[in-house]
A and B are shown apart, each in its own frame.
Chain A
Amino acid sequence: MIILEWLGLAESAALLSLSAPGWGSNLLRGLANSLQIAFGAFGMGLIIGLFGAYGKLYGGPVLRDLLAIYTTVIRAVPELVLILILYYVGTDLINKAAALMGYGRVEISGVVAGIWVLGIVQGAYATEVLRGAILAVPPGQIEAARAYGMPALMTMRRVTIPAMMAFATPGLANLWLIATKDTALLAVVGFNELTLETKQAASSTRAYFTFFLAAGGLYLMVTLCSGAVFARIEKWARRGQPSLREGRS
């Protein structure tokens, strides 16, 4: 406390305090919301991406065309615009459908809407990341699975997916970090994630610098922790691959 006072930061510390009248708990609640959406969107993106990648690689011409439209459109339009479109169009459609079926206005949870919107965006990128990773698996390994009588789904589960993880993790780590930061865009549709909470705290107290710096610090913490987690995942995924540093090929 004395040190903070000496540094002239006592006021900032009070503003960021977890108990009222500090706004710290608001920021943390926003962070929790952001992480919840990022997790959900990333997971949904992975599932869409896996189906998308397999569809693009092995699907029929119609499916391949549809997926090409999906990945092209989603990756072409700025995320902010997509969020506005998907959020307002999505809620509008759901309400129209509800009205048709005789229900009143449906209240759409911000978390669910956020996960859907960002998940669809993530799915387009994940499709390409995973498609590239599947293509990087030596075809002989998949052929060996077939030659020993593995059914297609088992081949996917036991051979293709674990083998491609080595090639997919760097791209997926990128996607995860993008997901955490894209949650900030949901502020425009009024969802109380970290950025919006920060903005509210800042404009109520006029301490913009303190709060946005604190929010930046929280985003940085998320990135650092994610980096550590993905480093472990990558080490595990590459367990069968000689490292480049050892100079073996």
Chain B
Amino acid sequence: MPSAALADQAPPTAQATATQRAAVQVEDLHKSFGNLEVLKGVSLTAKQGDVVAIIGGSGSGKSTMLRCINFLETPSAGKIIIDGEEIEMRADGSPANRRQIERIRTRLAMVFQSFNLWSHRTLLENVIEVPVHVLKQPRAEAIAKARKLLVRVGLADKEEAFPAFLSGGQQQRAAIARALAVDPGVMLFDEPTSALDPELVGEVLTVIRDLAAEGRTMLLVTHEMRFAREVADHVVYLYQGRIEEQGPPAEVFGNPKSERLQQFLKSVS
């Protein structure tokens, strides 16, 4: 899908004025685990309303890159700039300002591969947890909004259910509702369908597709190539910790230049 068409669908108000400022900017990101260098200098920019798909084989560093953006992993070197605000880092890459990182995290909603809903709370409690306790919104307001979000992801009748009693697809849709509840500036999807049974993948992709069409800014690590091609404005192919190739999906998938990418696409299709 060409990005111009997507821009037309995006809400014209706030986002139009902010198009100049990148929602997420990653500069020369390095990350090592001990001696193993997982990211060897990755740079990436996502503008407001962009859907960026990050693809690559296992061990290519794609999940690590996503997790560095909200500092679930501390980068070894590099810069992370969220909506124009650079995250202050110490020399070793750890966040220098705990308050800042906590504040920025509330604007970056993450959806995990294994859902990570809080098992001792009902779906409704999961969705209102961050708005009420971190963002200090009035409880009644948060509940009203959470109910709307649960309707939206098709879980209206499950608000009193505990996560463990639901299917993977339902849990992941609830996790997406939890992410939406914080009005995120950017949504980070870390292989959101990889832990799902094949017949449940579709229901989750449908929800994500709607969000993309709404003009939400998203970074999406995925193995679903067809889906990436369909929803992304920009595709990044990571190979052994470096960006091997990137561009619009039509180019990356239709006319891959790098041999490794050609091989990768052949192996996954």
Contacts and interface: CB of A to CB of B under 8 A. Distances in A.
A148 B109 contact: yes
Interface stretch (A35-43, A63-71, A158-166): A158-166
B204 interface: no
Given A146-B72, A148-B105, A149-B105, A240 B120 contact: yes
Task: Classify chain B's interface size.
Answer: 20 to 34
22 contacts: A138-B116, A140-B116, A141-B118, A141-B119, A143-B116, A144-B110, A144-B112, A144-B117, A146-B72, A147-B70, A147-B105, A148-B110, A148-B182, A149-B105, A150-B133, A150-B134, A154-B133, A158-B129, A163-B118, A163-B119, A165-B120, A239-B120
A188 B70 CA distance: 58
A241 B119 contact: yes
Contacts, number: 76
B106 interface: yes
Contacts of B110: 144, 147-148
B214 to A, nearest CB: 21
A248 interface: yes
A151 interface: yes
A149 B106 contact: yes
Chain A at the B interface: SS class: helix
Contacts of A237: 120
A151 B120 contact: no
Interface stretch (B160-168, B216-224, B240-248, B250-258): B160-168
B194 to A, nearest CB: 14
Nearest to B106: A149
Contacts of B178: 148
A149 B118 contact: no
Interface residues of A, number: 25
Contacts of A158: 129, 133
Interface of B: 70, 72, 98, 102-106, 108-110, 112, 114-121, 129-130, 133-134, 162-165, 178, 182
Given A147-B110, A149-B102, A163-B120, A241 B130 contact: no
B216 to A, nearest CB: 17
Contacts of B114: 140
A146 B67 CA distance: 12
Interface of A: 138, 140-141, 143-151, 154, 158-159, 162-163, 165-166, 237, 239-242, 248
A240 B130 contact: no
A166 B102 CA distance: 28
B72 A147 contact: yes
Contacts of A146: 72, 105
Across the A-B interface, the 3 shortest Cβ-Cβ residue pairs = A140-B116, A149-B105, A149-B106
Contacts of A150: 102, 130, 133-134
Nearest to A157: B133
A144 B116 contact: yes
**Central interface residue in B108, B115, B119, B129, by most chain A CB within 10 Å:** B119
Contacts of B112: 140, 143-144, 147
Contact of A144 (B118, B162, B182): B118
A233 to B, nearest CB: 13
B163 A240 contact: yes
A152 to B, nearest CB: 9
A149 B162 CA distance: 23
Given A143-B72, A143-B116, 11 more contacts: A140-B116, A141-B118, A145-B118, A147-B105, A147-B110, A147-B112, A158-B129, A163-B119, A240-B162, A240-B164, A242-B164
